[in-house]
Structure 1
C-alpha cells in the first residue's frame, strides 16, 4: 500500500498577516506548511502554535541561494511542495521622486522579482505532482492612483506575469492570483512618507478586512477539485470605494 502524501504548502512572508493566517487555515485542512520569512523568531513562534505540521525556515525571497536551500530542506523534511503561495511583499507608498528611489527598487525586488525567484525555485516540485501557484497581488494591480506608482507597477506586473504563467503551465500547475483591497496587516507600518502613511492608516482603520478573510479565500481556491481553477479573485472590504 502506497504511503499517503499529505499536501505541502510553501508560504513566503509567513511571519505575519496573510501569510501567518493562511498557514493556520491550511493546517486546519490537513496541510503541512513550510513557513518562509526573514524573521525566524516570529516563524518559530507560529510553528510552535501549529505543531509538527509546520516547518519554519529563515529565507529572504530576494536571496536565491536561501530559497534553494529551503526547497531542499522542505523536500527532505515535509515532502514535495504541492502549493506555493507568493505572499511576501512590501507597500511603501509615497510620491514618485528621487527620495523614493530605494523604496521603489525594494518593492520591485521583493514583490515581483521575489515571487518570480521563488516560483522558479519550486517549479519542479509543483510540476511533479500537479500543484498550485498562488500569487498575492492587490487591488492596486487593477487601479493605479497618485502616490502608489511603484507599488502599482509591481502588482500590475504580478497580474500580467500570473496570466502568462497560467497559459504556460496549465494543466500541470493551476495558477491563481488573489487581489485583496485593504487588509489589516503590517503593510502600513513600513511606509516612510508621513502623508502617505497617515492616509493609508486612516483608510485601513475605517474599513479593512482581516488576514483571516483572505486566508479563507486562498484555502478555498487550492482545495477545489483539480478539474477547475479559480484563476483570478478580486476581494475588497464591502465599504472600500476603489
Structure 2
C-alpha cells in the first residue's frame, strides 16, 4: 500500500512568491496546505494547483489559527515534513513618520508570524523530523534606510530562527532543520506598489529578483538545508562587509540609494510607455 504524501504548509501563499513555493512543493509530491489571510486568494491558489491541494484562511499573528492549520494538514497527510513561513508585509518611510498600527503590523506579521509558524511546526516534527524554511530578507542582515521597522522585524526573524536552531541542536534534536532564505528585492506585488516610493529605493539598488530566483534558492535549500542563504550570494557578502565596517557602510548608503532611485525611474518609465 502506497503511503500518503507528507504534509507541507506555506503561509502567505495566496499570490506572488508564496503561490510559487506552494507549486514547488506540489511538484515534489507533498500534500500542500495553502494559507493566506485572504480567503479568496487561498482558495483560488489551491484550486489552481490541483484537486488535492488544501487551503485555509490563516492570520499568522494568531497562534490558534496557525495551530489549526498544522492540525488540518496532519489530519489529511498524517505527518508534517515542510513548513514555509512566507507571509510578510512591508511599509516604508522613517519609523517616526509611520503610524503605530503600521509598525505593529510589520513586527507582528514578519517576526511573530515566523515565531508562531516555527514553534507550531516543531511541535509536529518532534517525532519524525522536518524542515522549516523561513523567507526572510537581506533587510534582516543589514541597515536599510526607509525600511527601518521592516528591517527590525526581519532581524528578529533571522535571530529567532538561528537561535532556535541552536536550541534544537543543544537539545540533541538533529532531524529538524531551519533554513533562512534572504532575498534582495523581489519583483512581486509587495514591490510593485513601491516603484514610485523613494523610501524603497534600496530594494531596487541590486539586481531586482524574479520570484523564480527565490524558488530556485528554496529548491536547493530543501535538498541541502543551510542556516542562511542570501539571494543573490554576492549581495549577502556585500551586506555582511557593510556590517563589519558600519561606518563605511553608512557612508556608502547614499550611493546605493541613488542607484536604486535611478532603477525605479527607469522601470516606471518603461511601465508608462507600455501602458
- Shorter-chain-normalised TM-score: which range? 0.7 to 0.9
* Aligned counterparts of 2:197 and 2:229: Cα–Cα separation in 1: 31
* Aligned counterparts of 1:153 and 1:32: Cα–Cα separation in 2: 33
- Cα drift, residue 220 of structure 1: 2.2
Q: Which residue of 1 aligns with 2:166?
A: 167
After TM superposition, the structure 1 = structure 2 runs for residues 88-237 of structure 1, keeping only pairs within 5 Å, are 88-170=87-169, 171-188=174-191, 194-196=197-199, 199=201, 203=204, 207-224=207-224, 229-236=225-232
Residues 188 and 200, structure 1, Cα contact 8 Å, conserved in 2: no
Find the residue that maps to 1:66 and give its secondary structure: helix
Q: Which moved more, 1:118-127 or 1:149-158?
A: 118-127
Residues 27 and 50, structure 1, Cα contact 8 Å, conserved in 2: yes
* Aligned counterparts of 1:219 and 1:47: Cα–Cα separation in 2: 20
- Cα drift, residue 8 of structure 1: 1.7
Q: Map Cα deviations across residues 75-112 of structure 1 (whole Å, 9 max, x no partner).
A: 11233211111111111111111543221111110000
Residues 11 and 86, structure 1, Cα contact 8 Å, conserved in 2: yes
Q: Which residue of 2 aligns with 1:21?
A: 20
With normalisation by structure 1, the TM-score equals 0.86
Q: Which moved more, 1:229-238 or 1:59-68?
A: 229-238
Residues 9 and 84, structure 1, Cα contact 8 Å, conserved in 2: yes
With normalisation by structure 2, the TM-score equals 0.77
| C-alpha distance 99-29 of structure 1, shift in aligned 2 (>3 A) | closer
Number of matched pairs:
234
Tell which structure's C-alpha radius of gyration is larger: 2
* Aligned counterparts of 1:74 and 1:105: Cα–Cα separation in 2: 29
* Aligned counterparts of 1:51 and 1:13: Cα–Cα separation in 2: 18
* Aligned counterparts of 2:133 and 2:35: Cα–Cα separation in 1: 15
Q: Tell me, which stretches of 5 or more residues in structure 1 are unaligned?
A: none
Which protein has greater RCO, CA pairs closer than 8 Å, 6+ apart? 1
* Aligned counterparts of 1:230 and 1:207: Cα–Cα separation in 2: 23
Q: Map Cα deviations across residues 156-199 of structure 1 (whole Å, 9 max, x no partner).
A: 111111111111123131110110001111213566x95425x4
The structure with the largest helix share of the pair is 2
Q: Tell me, which stretches of 5 or more residues in structure 2 are unaligned?
A: 240-275
Q: Map Cα deviations across residues 8-46 of structure 1 (whole Å, 9 max, x no partner).
A: 211111111221111111111112211111112112221
Q: Which residue of 1 aligns with 2:82?
A: 83
